[in-house]
Chains A and B, each alone.
Chain A
Amino acid sequence: MTKAGSPLSDTIKPPLWVNAEITYKCPLHCVFCYNPLNYASTFEKELSTAQWLKALREARELGAVQLGISGGEPLMRDDCEEIVAEASKMGYYVNLLTSGIGLTEERIAAFKAGGLDQIQLSFQDSTKEMNDFLSSTRTFDLKRKVARLIKQYDYPMVLNVVLHRLNIDHIEQILQMAEEMEADHVELANSQYYAWALKNREQLMPSREQLEHAEAVCNQFRERLGNKMKLYFVVPDYYQDRPKACMNGWGTVFLNIAPDGLALPCHEARMLPGLEFPNLRDHDVRTIWYESEAFNAYRGDSWMKEPCRSCDEKHKDFGGCRCQAYMLTGDARNADPVCSKSPHHSIVTDQVALAQRAQSTDEEVRPVIIFRDDKNSRAFVDE
């Protein structure tokens, strides 16, 4: 996997941000999940506690400072507290990304004592019925309890609500709930179409009218609450005409470690063909970050094709997202088709046009939605 004498090796900056997906096990079954479709294949191959700590120590030595502990649901591992505490001792700023399922008072006390810096709690919607439907479980009351625990242990209340066609019209109730919970930060990000969300794209993509309404409601809350509750609203990138600067560039700051030890430049890269992603079981982080072919594949701009190659914005957005380019055009080196300069841009605009259809009722939608669950995932493993 090593590419000797890479011309980039002198200019590669160290990773700053590690996202540790410690397990893909999850009690929820969210229809917009960005975990890989075949996530169930990692269940028997999860890294041990010692392997996690070794990888985190190596990344810290290279200069990584931010650590996300995510999943799946990270609380499904009973060594989550130990990993957090050790990482905190190493000098990471540690952020736990959780659905809250499994966060008892005993566990939150252990996290606090271990030095956990922040908790981000995800909600699927503001109403019990919708939350339970979209995550396909009965968890809403439990989450409200967890939200109170987070406040009680003197953490800021950071709420993540994934928005989409089926819940975006409840934006006002969602924000009222956030206000009642005394949320300090609320991220209202529309689902982006990867993995399970791509499978469910037609059901999840909101219309332009829905987006405009939601943003207007957000602005009303911003005006009324100011800094008391900070709101971040993110539209689906399909609605834009320039791509996101995905991961701030491939292999520049971000290292994702999957439950089975695969090192990835983003959450989704596992599905890109032709790249052999290195595993933390076999290699240390330094070798992986600086020398692996996979991490070097899309660094710099020599891999780019037209229109990116000669584009004067290429250092601003790096041609967008390699995974989205691959998923929508079949070639990861193409421009992300979100870009209006892409010859494949109509793939995106056709989907947006389709999303302008009238709202269907839940009854029509339910049968075709694919829930993220182990049975469905195993079917994708076999594919």
Chain B
Amino acid sequence: MSLDTSQPLKLARQYKLQWEKVQDAWVLLYPEGMVKLTGSAGEILTRIDGERSAQDVIANLQAAFPGADLQQDVIDFLEHAHDKGWITPV
């Protein structure tokens, strides 16, 4: 399913994002399960706040990591996260 990059995104109901010291990683918790996120996946998902759209997330990341070409990687990951049901349009 393709994602409307101008629409605000939020974590899906039942999903919780938290930093796990023991795993030294952001994890996504859901009923009876957990996904350990890579560093860049954590950077992206922590910017999903119910107000930012995919375009806003990209702009925000570009400001935080100047010089990197993030556009396609972020879109790919957000589409993956959307397909998995982790995030949803507001």
Contacts and interface: CB of A to CB of B under 8 A. Distances in A.
B14 to A, nearest CB: 6
Interface stretch (A2-10, A62-70, A73-81, A300-308): A62-70
Contact of A156 (B13, B23, B27): B13
A154 B14 CA distance: 10
A16 B23 CA distance: 11
Contact of A63 (B16, B20, B30): B20
Interface in A51-109: 62-63, 65-66, 91, 93, 95
B22 A62 contact: yes
Contacts of B32: 66, 95
A309 to B, nearest CB: 32
Interface in A107-148: 117-118
A40 interface: no
Contact of A65 (B13, B14, B29, B31): B29
B30 A65 contact: no
Contact of A118 (B14, B20, B34): B14
A95 B18 contact: no
Nearest to A185: B31
Nearest to A93: B29
A159 interface: no
A158 interface: yes
Interface residues of B, number: 14
B31 A118 contact: yes
Contacts of B16: 93, 117
Interface string B14-39: 10101010110001011111100000
A27 interface: no
Contacts of A117: 14, 16, 29, 31
B14 A63 contact: no
Contacts of A185: 31
A94 to B, nearest CB: 10
Nearest to A92: B29
A236 interface: no
B34 A16 contact: yes
Interface in B1-60: 13-14, 16, 18, 20, 22-23, 27, 29-34
Contacts of A154: 13
Given A117-B14, A118-B14, A158 B31 contact: yes
A185 B33 CA distance: 15
Contacts of B34: 16, 65-66, 93
Interface in A12-68: 14, 16, 62-63, 65-66
B22 A63 contact: yes
Contacts of B30: 93
Interface string A268-309: 000000000000000000000000000000000000000000
Among A14, A16, A65, A185, the one with the most B-chain Cβ atoms within 10 Å of its Cβ is A65
A63 B27 CA distance: 12
Nearest to B16: A93
A278 to B, nearest CB: 21
Interface string B58-87: 000000000000000000000000000000
Nearest to B19: A91
Q: Which of A62, A91, A93, A117 has the largest count of B CB atoms less than 10 A from its CB?
A: A93
A14 B14 contact: no
Nearest to A91: B18
A182 to B, nearest CB: 14
Nearest to B34: A65
6 contacts: A14-B22, A62-B22, A117-B29, A118-B31, A158-B31, A185-B31
Given A63-B23, A66-B32, A156-B14, 17 more contacts: A14-B22, A63-B20, A65-B20, A65-B34, A66-B33, A91-B18, A93-B16, A93-B30, A93-B31, A95-B32, A117-B14, A117-B29, A117-B31, A118-B14, A154-B13, A156-B13, A185-B31
Interface of A: 14, 16, 62-63, 65-66, 91, 93, 95, 117-118, 154, 156, 158, 185
Q: Please name the 9 residue pairs, one residue from A and one from B, whose CB atoms are nearest each other, closest first.
A: A63-B22, A93-B29, A118-B31, A65-B34, A14-B22, A65-B29, A91-B18, A93-B16, A156-B14
